[in-house]
Structure 1
Amino acid sequence: MKFNINKKAATATVNHEGAIAYSLSPEMELYTAVATTLLSDVTYEKADARMQRIIELLPQVAPEFIAQLAVYARKEMNLRTAPLVLATALANVHRGDSLVSKAVAGVVQRPDEIMEMLACYQVLNKREGIKKLNRLSKQMQKGLATAFNRFDEYQFAKYNRNTEVKLKDALFLVHPKAKDEAQQVLFNKIVSDEMATPYTWETELSALGQKVFVNAAEKQAAVKATWEELIDSRKLGYMAVLRNLRNILQAGVSAVHVERVGEYLANENAVLNAKQLPFRFLSAYRELMNVESGYNAYLLDALESAIASSVQNMPGFNRNTRVVVACDVSGSMYKPVSKNSAVQLYDIGLLLGMLLQSKCKHVQTGIFGDTWKRISLPARNVLSNVDVLRKREGEVGYATNGYLVLKDLVDRKYVADKVMLFTDMQMWDSNTNNVSNVNTLEYQWRQYKAIAPDAKLYVFDLAGYGHSPIKQQGRDVFLIAGWSDKIFAVLEAIEHGEDTLSAVREVAL
């Protein structure tokens, strides 16, 4: 959507399938709602409903936690819109100190986010008429002024777009003080629309589109030359490469240039600096699978290397730790993560599950729906493993009988140290009337603890609907939320005695 912990006491409720579930603390609910949304439509909520729920939770949560979560979601989870909403809404509920300006400055990491935040402020405050942004929050103004001082001419020009709130408008509204003479010159260029046209793939291809060609062959040659020039320039950003692999191959660039693209994709430093959400690699992988090219295998390998590098610092488990990884493939998981994305929650669960499996020495992996099925897969080639599991769609049905994962462990008397469920949390029992609630995650976990008293259960929430299928009491059941590889950093923190929200609370403002 564009505008321009453990819980010591749980309240019983029901989930969207009508099954027993447990409410979360306001902090935990806010965290799960933010960590699992791009503010696009999901199965049981619309984007505006999700945003409204986030806003309604804010008065129940300490302002400092809201600010920390906003900065954490932007810098660590690499989310964009949800942090903007948090920081903007915070300005409406908190006054009297610099907390808002610190949150705003921490959230804005790109020039266009200045305009996005102003547009968000306009929407949340229902501003209409000519002066939609008059009486701007002073602390928001201060935070945006700090952000203005971070960017150079190329960055401003790159994001100087014809949106409702323009860069020039933002400059007039925020009134940032130039840090030196050079920056004052830059601000003057913004006002007079005299910034140099940036060299980007968008501007180069846009310029190419304005040209007239004699025939299709001449146009194809020009497109090929442009892509090769962009690759040679080393100014083609990592995300731009991921999104344009199909276009690059269809342009027919030379073998040398394909090799350079592959080397860049697999480059460890480039991967770490790009900070891409894991599903971006999966999207690129899927795009390549739909292109007929002799270079596909080479670039698919480069993407496998890239996603491996992206989690190189992710903690794993040694040969003595027995891990069970279970991925929810029920019907409600077949929803895209954003309006224009082909990636679904189904894919997110499989991808995160395969990333975790790649870091384990002793692991059993499987999928659950109507039934639970263990499936052996190699530790390497995370993306191809996801593809293999995706092709087994329907094999276990479309219900959400997550309790069967634990029941299988009980029946086999298999003692695991850690059981990991990747799910949208909509657990229910499709097999019986279940009057006694035996077929629930809660009941089966109690049964399993009699066999494996030291086992821990980690439920990874991929949807953020605001409830859990099991009480989070003691030190053996944990809820973690999100689509970022940062969920594994939370997992590591828990291993060291912290709780799910510790990393958020440690954010320095």
Structure 2
Amino acid sequence: MARFNTKAAKARGTSRVASTGRVLRTHEGGRGVERDPRSELFLLSIANFVAQKTFYEDGEARDDRFAALVRQLAVTDPSWTAALLGWLRGEGNLRTASIVGAAEYVKARLDAGVTDGPANRQVVASVLRRPDEPGELLAYWTSRYGRALPKPVKRGVADAVRRLYGAKALLKYDTGSKGYRFGDVLNLVHAAPDPDKPWQGELFRYALDRRHNPDTAVPPAADRVLTAHRELMAVPVAERRAIVTSEGGAGRLAAAGMTWEALAGWLQGPMDAAAWEAVIPSMGAMALVRNLRNFDEAGVSDEVASRVAEKISDPAEVARSRQFPFRYLAAYQHAPSLRWAYPLERALGHSLANVPVLGGRTLVLVDRSGSMFFSRLSDRSALTWADAAAVFGTAIALRAADADLVEFGSGSDVVSFRRGESVLKVLERFGDLGGTNTSEAVRRHYKKHDRVLIVTDEQAGYSGHGDPASQVPADVPVYTWNLAGYRAGHAPSGGRNRHTFGGLSDAAFRMVPLLEGARDAEWPWVG
């Protein structure tokens, strides 16, 4: 009799976030599982805003755990770690964690005296992708390890400086609020101009003059942006609003590299409708999204508002901005006018482009426990892990062929929705359900579904029913989407229809169809 070669036999995909088999305890005292170091670092990295307190970990403890994992793997697995850091700053879109990670990567390898794997200089340069980031990395390094800069740090930062520093970058990011101005960075790393940018030498000299002799610094005459900006700054304050309201005012502001943040200071007065309408054409999509409420309060016209709505909901603009989907929820909650609701819904939909259309029956469970509500996504955001979980859970339920959407905490409830309904409207039906009893929620709501997807921080309390995945037959896939990156997981993962992924973007959804097609789900930067 055949034991394996039967009609029911089929390949099973494997995933890279893997548990070791060692039992841990969750922060709530429930039975948990340990993950291998790479898996732990990956999940922590994609949920780590750095210096951000969560419900169970203060910012310092969380950052120390992150740094320790990077240092360990920088020595034992440098190629994987370097790839993670580059991806984290790129597609992962997490600036601070990647910068901290690169600094710790270099420090660990220098301390250990190892030279195999990707060069330290290359790793530093790979995470610096915005003009203010060279200063960010230097500030982190000197605050932690002193002002003595190793050569790989200097050279990696210098490589980024040549790539990133230009006139508009100087105007936008070289401000007095920074501890490390562009001139300070140039002094520390001694970056030579890029040979393919003949104008960069003059720009570097001007950046040094702005830092050390601001009253007498004169921009390069050949640089139109810096010259136009200097001319604007020389206009008497009493005449500046007339420029804003003039026919060519918007074009003049744009030509001078005037950002909306700088415009408010230049005017030395409130940003009224005319000021906003002059600078809106040169604002990026996410700057527009963050200022919708300001547009309403200033009284921006419906004509201009319609152009804003068109831009923020354009699929190409959404893709270019690379913002997390929950940013649009934040804007929806913050902006008082209904004229933004539909464009924000469209933008949210575009930002969830990777959400698959799952066939069969899907059970989606969204964690609405206290730990999810009391952990904010960052100090600058009012949104919580619970908000992010609801966004992702709702998105996959709405696109699935047949889905049951459930919120859970100490208890659990079905969240009603209709096919084609707005994600933002469905989100209004979620509540706060206290503690975390994931296993009971799965046990209660699993009804021969073809898959189970749980969006959670995994920090369940004690359950007499065992881990959440044990409530589901072994041949049915259970996907855990970890949003918080805590050490202990709530169930085994890596194979046998039990998989964990994580992060704050829709990219994580790519794993589901891969695994159900019996293909191995690699790390997101591979293949």
TM value normalised by structure 2: 0.82
Q: Which runs of 5+ in 1 are unaligned?
A: 212-218
Which residue in the other structure is 1:214 paired with? none
Aligned AA (2:260): W
Which residue in the other structure is 2:60 paired with? 48
Q: Which of 458, 481, 488 does residue 467 from structure 1 map onto?
A: 488
* Residue 253 of structure 2 is aligned to residue 227 of structure 1: no
Aligned AA (2:425): S
Matches within 5 A, 1:122-141: 122-125=142-145, 127=146, 132=147, 134=148, 136-141=149-154
Instruction: Give the root-mean-square deviation of aligned CA atoms.
Output: 2.0
- Three-state SS of the structure 1 residue aligned to 2:272 is helix
Q: Which of 402, 408, 423 does residue 368 from structure 1 map onto?
A: 408
Instruction: Report how far residue 355 of structure 1 moved.
Output: 2.1
Q: Structure 2 CA distance, aligned partners of 1:14 and 1:237?
A: 45
Which residue in the other structure is 1:252 paired with? 299
Instruction: Report how far residue 142 of structure 1 moved.
Output: 2.0
Which residue in the other structure is 1:240 paired with? 287
Which residue in the other structure is 1:121 paired with? 141
Q: Does the 8 Å CA contact 2:405/2:414 hold for their aligned counterparts?
A: yes
Which residue in the other structure is 1:186 paired with? 203
Q: Which of 106, 119, 126 does residue 99 from structure 1 map onto?
A: 119
Aligned AA (2:466): T
Which residue in the other structure is 2:435 paired with? 399
Aligned AA (1:345): W
Aligned AA (1:43): F
Q: Structure 2 CA distance, aligned partners of 1:282 and 1:57?
A: 32
Aligned AA (2:460): M
Aligned AA (1:206): G
Q: In the TM superposition, what whole-angstrom CA distance separates every residue of 1:285-319 from its partner, at most 9, and x where no partner exists?
A: 1001xx2xxxx22311000000111223x14134x
- Three-state SS of the structure 2 residue aligned to 1:400 is coil
Q: How many residues align?
A: 455
Q: In the TM superposition, what whole-angstrom CA distance separates every residue of 1:238-285 from its partner, at most 9, and x where no partner exists?
A: 221111111011000111011111111111111110111112111101
Instruction: Report how far residue 428 of structure 1 moved.
Output: 1.7
Q: Structure 1 CA distance, aligned partners of 2:410 and 2:381?
A: 27
Which residue in the other structure is 1:272 paired with? 319
Which residue in the other structure is 1:149 paired with? 162
Distance 1:405 1:500, change over 3 A: farther
Aligned AA (2:344): L
Instruction: Report how far residue 102 of structure 1 moved.
Output: 2.0
Which 10-residue stretch deviates more, 323-332 or 185-194? 185-194
Q: Does the 8 Å CA contact 2:132/2:173 hold for their aligned counterparts?
A: yes
Aligned AA (2:422): N
Which residue in the other structure is 2:44 paired with? 33
Which 10-residue stretch deviates more, 38-47 or 143-152? 143-152
Distance 1:380 1:448, change over 3 A: same
Q: Structure 1 CA distance, aligned partners of 2:185 and 2:492?
A: 47
Q: In the TM superposition, what whole-angstrom CA distance separates every residue of 1:455-478 from its partner, at most 9, and x where no partner exists?
A: 101111111111111122533111
- Three-state SS of the structure 2 residue aligned to 1:388 is coil
Instruction: Report how far residue 500 of structure 1 moved.
Output: 5.6
- Three-state SS of the structure 1 residue aligned to 2:404 is strand
Q: Does the 8 Å CA contact 2:44/2:486 hold for their aligned counterparts?
A: yes
Q: Structure 2 CA distance, aligned partners of 1:123 and 1:380?
A: 49
Q: Does the 8 Å CA contact 1:315/1:489 hold for their aligned counterparts?
A: yes
Q: Does the 8 Å CA contact 2:455/2:480 hold for their aligned counterparts?
A: yes
Which residue in the other structure is 2:472 paired with? 448
Which residue in the other structure is 2:499 paired with? 478
Q: Structure 2 CA distance, aligned partners of 1:369 and 1:499?
A: 32
- Three-state SS of the structure 1 residue aligned to 2:524 is helix
Q: Does the 8 Å CA contact 2:318/2:350 hold for their aligned counterparts?
A: yes
Q: Structure 2 CA distance, aligned partners of 1:10 and 1:287?
A: 44
Which residue in the other structure is 2:234 paired with? none
Distance 1:244 1:205, change over 3 A: same
Q: Structure 2 CA distance, aligned partners of 1:228 and 1:337?
A: 31
Instruction: Report how far residue 353 of structure 1 moved.
Output: 0.9
- Three-state SS of the structure 2 residue aligned to 1:11 is strand
Q: Does the 8 Å CA contact 1:8/1:474 hold for their aligned counterparts?
A: no
Which residue in the other structure is 1:385 paired with? 426
Q: Which of 365, 382, 388 does residue 326 from structure 1 map onto?
A: 365
Q: In the TM superposition, what whole-angstrom CA distance separates every residue of 1:6-43 from its partner, at most 9, and x where no partner exists?
A: 42632101011111111110001111111112121111
Distance 1:471 1:189, change over 3 A: same
Q: Structure 2 CA distance, aligned partners of 1:191 and 1:423?
A: 49
* Residue 341 of structure 2 is aligned to residue 307 of structure 1: no
Q: Does the 8 Å CA contact 2:355/2:506 hold for their aligned counterparts?
A: no
Q: Structure 1 CA distance, aligned partners of 2:517 and 2:174?
A: 45
* Residue 113 of structure 2 is aligned to residue 80 of structure 1: no
Q: Structure 1 CA distance, aligned partners of 2:456 and 2:448?
A: 22
User: Percent identity between the aligned chains?
Assistant: 28
- Three-state SS of the structure 2 residue aligned to 1:422 is strand
Q: Does the 8 Å CA contact 2:30/2:461 hold for their aligned counterparts?
A: yes
Q: Does the 8 Å CA contact 1:478/1:500 hold for their aligned counterparts?
A: no
Q: Does the 8 Å CA contact 2:285/2:312 hold for their aligned counterparts?
A: yes
Q: Which runs of 5+ in 2 are unaligned?
A: 1-15, 211-217, 220-225, 230-256
Q: Structure 1 CA distance, aligned partners of 2:155 and 2:277?
A: 43
- Three-state SS of the structure 2 residue aligned to 1:486 is helix
Instruction: Report how far residue 121 of structure 1 moved.
Output: 0.9
Q: Structure 1 CA distance, aligned partners of 2:259 and 2:422?
A: 32
Distance 1:384 1:281, change over 3 A: same
Q: Structure 1 CA distance, aligned partners of 2:87 and 2:520?
A: 15
Q: Which of 68, 78, 82 does residue 63 from structure 1 map onto?
A: 78
Q: Does the 8 Å CA contact 1:70/1:107 hold for their aligned counterparts?
A: yes
Distance 1:6 1:49, change over 3 A: closer
Distance 1:48 1:161, change over 3 A: farther
Aligned AA (2:472): Y
